[in-house]
Amino acid sequence: MTRADLHTLTGAYAVHALSGRELGEFERHLAVCDACRQEVRELRETAARLAVASSLAPPPTMKDDVLRRIATVRQEPPRLAARETRESHAGPRRRTGRRAVNVALAACVAAAAVCGGAAVWQYRQASDARDTARRSEQRAARAEELTQVLAAPDAHSRSGRMTGGSTGTVVVSRGLDKAVFLASGLPEPPAGRIYQLWFSDGGTMRPAGLLDSSGRSTAAVMSGAVGKASAMGVTVEPAGGSRAPTGDPLVLLAFPSA
């Protein structure tokens, strides 16, 4: 694409109408084109006016819901934010995130036999995983570990419906001896309670960490090695966790055989 061609993509870019190769190409161009950045900025201001024009009155209960939710969500520290902003305000959003999708999809392809025809669902799952990955940018090491498991060549996944209707997925890499648990649509645990993960060693539950469940979707590297575990489970436990499950599991997922 010529420079002039690229420049005309400001409109499409401003309203998120670019994807794939073109998006990357345009973002690289944006980094060296002041005029383009300026135009994107103006067109985004314009788009915001279109949004305001479409305002609807939210249901009265929503405000309380949102205020309750933010009370449990940790904010990004300013320093990190400044760095990312400099990297690119115009659009670059979450590089880590996009990578996570790619690896999640890669893992999915590797596990095609497991994923089967659930492509749409998998995409959504990946998209949830991406959101989650973005949320954990601060905890870079953790995110890196998560990415490694999802991208492992021998990653296999299993999903199931959890009590309450949310979906849980476990991705296991026997090579790394690690597992990642992903949940989407998981409600906040009741006050004073927390979700806990478990490895099942032939029916004996071994604690595998607590699930930080702020937000709609969640991903966590399970604590400890997979070892001889044949399944994993999730329970609701008193805050701080338990040494053995005190309630029925919300879901039990058998690991794909090695």
Partner 1 sequence: MREPVYIGGPAARGPDLEELLQLVARGDQNAFGTLYDAVSGPVLGLTRSLLRDPAQAEEVTQEVLVEVWRSAARFDPGRGSAMAWIMTVAHRRAVDRVRSAQAASDREERAALLSRTPAFDEVTEQVEARLEREQVRRCMRTLTELQRQSVTLAYYRGRSYREVAELLSLPLGTVKTRLRDGLIRLRDCLGVGA
Q: Enumerate binding residues for partner 1 (CB under 8 A).
A: 5, 8-12, 14-19, 38, 41-59, 62-63, 65-67, 69-71, 73-78, 80-82, 84-85, 89-90, 93, 120, 123-124, 127, 135, 215-216
Residues 6+ apart with CB under 8 A from 255: 156, 158, 170, 172, 179, 226, 229, 230, 231, 232
Residue 157 or 200 with smaller CB distance to partner 1: 157
How far apart are CB 55 and partner 1 at their closest, in Å?
A: 4
Q: Sign of the CA dihedral 188, 194, 200, 205?
A: negative
**Dist CA 210 CA 229 (whole Å):** 18
Residue 20 or 202 with smaller CB distance to partner 1: 20
| Residues 122/157, Cβ–Cβ less than 8 Å | no
Q: What count of other Cβ atoms lies within 10 Å of the Cβ of residue 70?
A: 10
Residue 28 or 69 with smaller CB distance to partner 1: 69
How far apart are CB 56 and partner 1 at their closest, in Å?
A: 4
**DSSP-derived pairing of the beta strands 167-173 and 178-184:** antiparallel
How far apart are CB 141 and partner 1 at their closest, in Å?
A: 20
How far apart are CB 39 and partner 1 at their closest, in Å?
A: 8
Q: What count of other Cβ atoms lies within 10 Å of the Cβ of residue 142?
A: 14
Residue 51 or 258 with smaller CB distance to partner 1: 51
Residue 95 or 216 with smaller CB distance to partner 1: 216
How far apart are CB 244 and partner 1 at their closest, in Å?
A: 34
**Dist CA 187 CA 146 (whole Å):** 22
